[in-house]
Structure 1
Amino acid sequence: MFWASYLLAGLAIILAWPVPVLLSRAKWPARSPFTAMVLWQAIALAGGLSMIGAMLTWGLEPIGDNLAQGISALWDILIQRRPAETLGLVHVFAISAALLLSAHLVFTLLLTFYRIQGARRRHRDMLNLLSSPSLDAPATLVIPHPSPVAYCLPGGAQSVTVLSDGLMDILTESELSAVMTHEKAHLSQRHHLLLWAFAAWRAALPWLPTSQLAQRSVNELIEMLADDEALKKVDRPTLIRAVAIVGSGAGSVSGTESAAGIPAASTATVTGGGSAGEGVGMAGRLSRLLTPQPPLPQWAKALVQACSVLLLAVPTVLLFAPGLIH
């Protein structure tokens, strides 16, 4: 387990800096946003597991050949008060650091969820005061505002799409259908859950390049996924016009701009998509729609997905394989 801890530390470093930097600069994610989303999730999960696992396996190395044996021996020391002469101060520090980091990540995840839910409740209360139900579309609210504004407010069975009357006046019926499909895609594909997880990851480790680049890239990818879903219902020129018209106003197609006195919320708080400042840029979205690239071939998608599985399998094997490189 001694060498396993060093291998985990090396993997954690690779996933914390060069890999996310290279992936954030790559062009292929725009050709297959779902595959890229899977890879980003694997990088985040494997990076966190490797980071915690490196400290934990190194701390437990004197009392176990693998993680299960080490935890069992530590349990005997703590609960049954068996002697712990084999654990030095440095090893105790490593174990404590691993446990504290784990607790910090879980606590930040729950705290982020609590804050998001609170912000959504306040936002929904203001919408109840300032909006009116759409006569043409179910689960849709209309706010009085001259600028084109559209976003979705997740909430399970109470999820709604919010449109401004200014937007509805500007867009044609087909363009409005594109916007609606885009927003409903955020809700049906549960993009707000991804944003919650990556927002918590960034809040917990704001200094880590993975957390910053991952959140930005995930915001971009969910916009691409929602655009692709809209293209199944309307043609490309219609979606391009809708994106351009909405982008010319105060918000984006899934923006979080203030409207009719409703304050803007953070990216992961209200919408299922990114904000105008932190999500994918309007120019980037239009460029992708105007000059579409062929999707990744199936073998390339399979290769990326296999790499994602491998990223999760390697730290798991290093942690739990019995007697690994002792």
Structure 2
Amino acid sequence: MTGALVAPALLAALALALAWPVPLLLAGARWTRRSPATALVLWQAIAVAGGLSMIGALLTFGLLPFGDNLLAGALALPGVLLGEAPLRPLEFWNVLALAGAALLTGHLLLNLLVTVVRAERQRRRHAGLLMLLSQPHDSGTRLIDTPAPVAYCLPGAISSVTVVSAGLIELLDEQQMLAVIEHERAHVKQRHDIVLVFFRAWRASLPWFPIAYRAQEEVGLLIELLADDEARRVVDDEVLADAIVRVGAGASVTSIDDEATPTDALTTRLARLAEPPLPRPAETAVLALAAALVLVPPALLFVAPLVASLRG
């Protein structure tokens, strides 16, 4: 039984590391601004691996009375429930672990469902109001008649729309407007709304966990930097920087989650334009780490037991 505890112990240790110190270190890292796409992949890997590790550790420990690993326990459990195999005594901690795994899985899935439904409901309501209060513009966007400099995208499953205000058009020149529009369209093209929904659900699932809020903030900043990178493909960095400064001084460019871009985020967006990109070997190393994080829980849960059974 001692050897059987290795997998749940390792999974629990990994879950603990990915729930607190690792996200905290990543949130404070400076290199993420230089390679937002790579950092975003790592954040997603941390979230997925953390969830798998937490649930896997609880399941593996809870099924120990039925087998030395998750596969053996899961295969033996139906026979016990159907009366085809003798009932094995479950200790209190095993029952607690199985209940915890079921509750945690249900809690995460329910919060994800609620977050998705709520986001879609808000999007439809916003789209309906937008069609009433805006008109088509020559740039291929929708124009709202307000003096405030506003730009945002409203993504959808079938069609999406980019919105600009009359005040923004008066404030920016043609190249700066192009930078803003390309920035917003990047959100739509790269489906940043889907990424944000998952991290909102993570925060909703663990509201008492400060790192969940910090993760959502960091991911929100990273997608803004990714959208800036798309704008840099069509305009010079100086043009983009001028657009960021002008809009930031006038009001705020609204992001895809309909929240105003904070001042410190604008400062970060400006500062990283002067920073060199992360070297390719470093990006490759981070991507390899992200892949390893996602693969470790399934390896401990399924691959290692399967290899051990084949050897036996």
Question: Aligned AA for 2:109?
Answer: V
Q: Aligned equivalents of 2:198 and 2:264: distance in 1?
A: 18
Indicate the structure with greater helix content. 2
- The answer on whether the counterparts of 2:66 and 2:88 sit within 8 Å (CA) in structure 1 is no
Q: Aligned equivalents of 1:105 and 1:314: distance in 2?
A: 21
| Cα root mean square deviation, aligned | 1.9
2:287 is equivalent to residue 287 of structure 1: no
Match runs of 1:16-165 below 5 Å: 16-80=19-83, 82-134=85-137, 136-138=138-140, 140-165=141-166
Query: Quick one: which of 286, 301, 308 aligns to 1:319?
Result: 301
- Equivalenced residues, count: 305
2:206 is equivalent to residue 205 of structure 1: yes
* 1:152-190 Cα distance to aligned partner (Å, 9 max, x none): 000133200011111011111110000000000000011
* 1:113-147 Cα distance to aligned partner (Å, 9 max, x none): 0000000111111111111111x122x11111101
Query: Quick one: which of 302, 305, 313 aligns to 2:284?
Result: 302
Q: TM-score when scaled to structure 1?
A: 0.89
Question: Aligned AA for 1:276?
Answer: T
Which stretch shows the higher mean deviation, 149-158 or 108-117?
149-158
* 1:21-65 Cα distance to aligned partner (Å, 9 max, x none): 111111101111111111111111111111111111111112112
Question: Aligned AA for 1:213?
Answer: R
**What is the aligned partner in structure 2 of residue 276 from structure 1?**
261
Q: TM-score when scaled to structure 2?
A: 0.92
Q: 1:132 aligns to what SS in structure 2?
A: strand
**What is the aligned partner in structure 2 of residue 189 from structure 1?**
190
- The answer on whether the counterparts of 1:147 and 1:249 sit within 8 Å (CA) in structure 2 is yes
Deviation (angstroms), 1:2: 1.4
Q: Structure 1: which 5+ residue stretches go unaligned?
A: 257-266
Which stretch shows the higher mean deviation, 77-86 or 292-301?
77-86
**What is the aligned partner in structure 1 of residue 168 from structure 2?**
167
Q: Aligned equivalents of 2:55 and 2:83: distance in 1?
A: 25
- The answer on whether the counterparts of 1:66 and 1:323 sit within 8 Å (CA) in structure 2 is no
Q: Aligned equivalents of 1:191 and 1:216: distance in 2?
A: 14
Q: 1:251 aligns to what SS in structure 2?
A: coil
Q: Aligned equivalents of 1:240 and 1:223: distance in 2?
A: 13
Deviation (angstroms), 1:19: 0.6
Q: Aligned equivalents of 1:81 and 1:106: distance in 2?
A: 32
* 1:67-114 Cα distance to aligned partner (Å, 9 max, x none): 122112222223447443332232112111101110111111111000
